[in-house]
């Protein structure tokens, strides 16, 4: 950017200007950025362009016909965990236990000075549902922590279980500590145990400088994929303190806009849960759109159920493979006072609901306590009844979706788990939109890859971005989104979902100049070949 003039003119581009309907996008060819905001958008021949060009010291950039989109907003992610995951052993794509052991062993040998071995990307199906400490113990004497891909479970070796003191713990409400027939902990901690045991312990033992470095790595990773804003969906004291420390270290501002939902844990009773909501209210009064628009606490997050792959999602009917009926983590009686208090204080409620029973419960409680215009939201919505899909739009509930979770390569076990008929109701994205629900697209990173373009590929084709050559058939292609519709859900829809649409999310005069330059054809099928070439934050290029 010129030191003499803070005005830039971008010409000869294809600038995404309007994609709020399923119809194809509208395009402009030029944009002017001044003082970090968009000052003009229109055609190359517009008189305004000629007027700006006559100013001295103006920088003119030829986009050479490339596409320019508003920079992406990840509408559901976990920032500190994403940063930490970038330094973990990645088990994603492992075929079986043997490959998992090989990857961990290789990392252990290459990193002898690490105090712990942290891993990510494991799926229960890779190890036939087994997660025993004994399967890891001979690899290395150091503590080994293996996060499941959905971060609802952690598989530990004996050293990790010992350092956390799990053997003598009582199982917390909503949690699972697997034990053998003699009562000895066997290796798996799931659901509330991840939130209440594993995360707090690692937060305590990992130094602040490591957390700050992890957050910076996450920011850099987002810039590399065209993303400059995010909605953190499980903020807690540990991560919040690290974010504030990073901002302080960066001189008081971050090149990433963050809206956070405070994670509310099941706790040990209603009084405890309501105290957590009070903390979220307190932070919202300090960090909001008026006081701190780029670092806000906008609401609460509640994890109502588990996940289908581990048979912990709350379904209306038992699982097909084992006849198991899993109840919710949060019952309606637990949800009611918490949502009532949060909504009454003007906070947004984000309810994780994957199974159809959990979705019904979530819609019911938001209908009961939500007020018009509060923009409450339901996260994931992986299996929904048709009537609940309709109610989202009727009640003004945002459908917060992660198409990357609908990738056919990770759904191969679903017909066995829930039966082929129920699979037909999976990830009903276009149905939500057809009934009037606002869509916000996120990645759920680090449970899934964070890059927006492959995410949009899955949203628009329902084909696999993870294993495109594997030949998996699209899952429920009838629920796919149009490309303009999907891009809008990952930009303006995500901004709308967190009350940021007046500042970001679209290329409009007066909004912040957050945008990304992409080399691609405008086809969903081509998104796996698309390349992010530049990312701009507030008129500054943060990726070249």
Q: Which residues contact 262 (CB under 8 A, 6 or more apart)?
A: 235, 236, 276, 279, 280, 283, 297, 299, 300, 301
Q: Which two tokens stand for residue 283?
A: 């932070």
* Residue 138: predicted pLDDT: 98
* Residue 19: predicted pLDDT: 54
* pLDDT at position 61 over 50: yes
* CA–CA dist 366, 493 (Å, integer): 20
Q: What sign does the CA torsion over 26, 543, 82, 283 have?
A: negative
pLDDT digits (tens, 9 = 90+) for 185-240: 999 999 889 988 998 899 889 899 999 999 999 999 999 999 999 999 999 999 99
* Residue 172: predicted pLDDT: 87
* Residue 230: predicted pLDDT: 98
* pLDDT at position 242 over 70: yes
Task: Characterize 353-362 residue by residue with b for buried, 16 or more Cβ atoms within 10 angstroms of its Cβ, and e for exposed.
Answer: bbbbbbbbbb
Between 20-24, 36-40, 347-351, 388-392, the lowest mean confidence (pLDDT) is in 20-24
Average pLDDT of the segment spanning 493-515: 98
Average pLDDT of the segment spanning 113-130: 94
Average pLDDT, whole number, for the chain? 95
Residue 57's pLDDT band, with cuts at 50, 70 and 90, is: confident
* pLDDT at position 488 over 60: yes
Q: What is the 3-state secondary structure (H, E, C) of 71-121?
A: CEEEEEECHHHHHHHCCCEECCCCCCHHHHHHHHHHHHHHCCCCCCEEEEE
pLDDT digits (tens, 9 = 90+) for 62-100: 999 999 999 999 999 999 999 999 989 999 999 999 999
* CA–CA dist 81, 145 (Å, integer): 14
pLDDT digits (tens, 9 = 90+) for 439-474: 999 999 998 999 999 999 999 999 999 999 999 999
* pLDDT at position 544 over 90: no
Is the Cβ–Cβ distance between 423 and 415 less than 8 Å?
Answer: yes
Residue 180's pLDDT band, with cuts at 50, 70 and 90, is: very high
* pLDDT at position 3 over 60: no
- In 3D space, the residue among 433, 356, 424 whose CA is nearest the CA of residue 390 turns out to be 433
* Residue 4: predicted pLDDT: 46
Q: Which two tokens stand for residue 427?
A: 């990830």
Alpha helices in 165-303 (DSSP H): 192-193, 199-205, 208-224, 237-249, 270-286
Residue 2's pLDDT band, with cuts at 50, 70 and 90, is: very low
* Residue 21: predicted pLDDT: 52
* Residue 20: predicted pLDDT: 52
* Residue 5: predicted pLDDT: 64
Is the Cβ–Cβ distance between 146 and 132 less than 8 Å?
Answer: no
* pLDDT at position 510 over 60: yes
Chain-centroid distance of CA 87 in Å reads 18
Q: Global pTM? A: 0.91
Residue 338's pLDDT band, with cuts at 50, 70 and 90, is: very high
* pLDDT at position 1 over 50: no
pLDDT digits (tens, 9 = 90+) for 249-286: 999 999 999 999 999 999 889 999 999 999 999 999 99
Alpha helices in 354-468 (DSSP H): 356-369, 386-395, 414-418, 420-423, 429-434, 452-461
């Amino acid at each position: 950017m010129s030191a003499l003039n803070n005005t830039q003119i971008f010409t000869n581009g294809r600038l995404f200007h309007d994609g709020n309907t399923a119809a194809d996008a509208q395009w402009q060819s030029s944009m002017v950025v001044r003082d970090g905001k968009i000052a003009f958008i229109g055609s190359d021949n517009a008189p305004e362009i000629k007027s700006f060009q006559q100013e001295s010291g103006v920088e003119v950039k030829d986009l050479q016909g490339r596409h320019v989109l508003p920079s992406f907003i990840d509408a559901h992610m976990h920032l500190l965990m994403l940063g930490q995951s970038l330094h973990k052993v990645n088990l994603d794509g492992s075929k079986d236990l043997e490959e998992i052991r090989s990857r961990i062993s290789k990392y252990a040998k290459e990193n002898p000075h690490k105090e712990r071995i942290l891993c990510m990307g494991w799926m229960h199906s890779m190890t036939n549902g087994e997660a025993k400490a004994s399967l890891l113990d001979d690899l290395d004497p150091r503590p080994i922590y293996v996060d499941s891909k959905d971060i609802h479970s952690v598989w530990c070796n004996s050293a990790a279980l010992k350092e956390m003191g799990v053997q003598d713990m009582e199982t917390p409400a909503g949690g699972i500590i697997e034990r053998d027939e003699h009562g000895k902990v066997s290796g798996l901690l799931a659901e509330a145990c991840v939130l209440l045991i594993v995360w707090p312990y690692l937060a305590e033992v990992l130094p602040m400088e490591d957390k700050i470095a992890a957050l910076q790595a996450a920011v850099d990773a987002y810039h590399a994929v065209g993303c400059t804003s995010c909605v953190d969906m499980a903020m807690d004291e540990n991560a919040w303190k690290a974010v504030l420390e990073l901002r302080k270290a960066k001189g008081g501002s971050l090149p990433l806009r963050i809206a956070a939902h405070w994670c509310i844990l099941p706790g040990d009773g209603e009084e405890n849960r309501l105290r957590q909501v009070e903390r979220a209210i307190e932070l919202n009064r300090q960090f909001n759109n008026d006081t701190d628009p780029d670092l806000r606490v906008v609401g609460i997050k509640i994890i109502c159920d588990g996940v289908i792959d581990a048979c912990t999602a709350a379904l209306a009917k038992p699982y097909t493979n084992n006849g198991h009926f899993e109840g919710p983590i949060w019952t309606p009686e637990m949800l009611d006072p918490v949502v009532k208090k949060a909504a009454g204080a003007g906070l947004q409620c984000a309810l994780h609901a994957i199974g159809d029973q959990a979705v019904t419960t979530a819609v019911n409680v938001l209908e009961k306590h939500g007020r018009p215009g509060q923009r409450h939201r339901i996260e994931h919505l992986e299996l929904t009844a048709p009537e609940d899909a309709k109610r989202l739009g009727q009640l003004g509930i945002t459908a917060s979706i992660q198409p990357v979770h609908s990738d056919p390569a990770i759904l191969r076990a679903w017909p066995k788990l829930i039966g082929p008929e129920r699979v037909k109701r999976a990830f009903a994205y276009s149905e939500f939109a057809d009934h009037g629900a606002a869509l916000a697209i996120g990645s759920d990173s680090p449970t899934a890859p964070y890059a927006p373009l492959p995410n949009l590929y899955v949203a628009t084709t329902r084909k696999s971005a993870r294993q495109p050559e594997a030949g998996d058939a699209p899952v429920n292609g009838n629920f796919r989104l149009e490309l303009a519709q999907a891009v809008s859900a990952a930009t303006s829809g995500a901004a709308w979902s967190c009350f940021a649409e007046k500042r970001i999310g679209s290329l409009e005069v007066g909004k912040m100049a957050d945008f990304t330059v992409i080399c691609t054809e405008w086809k969903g099928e081509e998104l796996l070949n698309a390349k992010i070439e530049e990312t701009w934050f507030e008129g500054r290029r943060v990726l070249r």
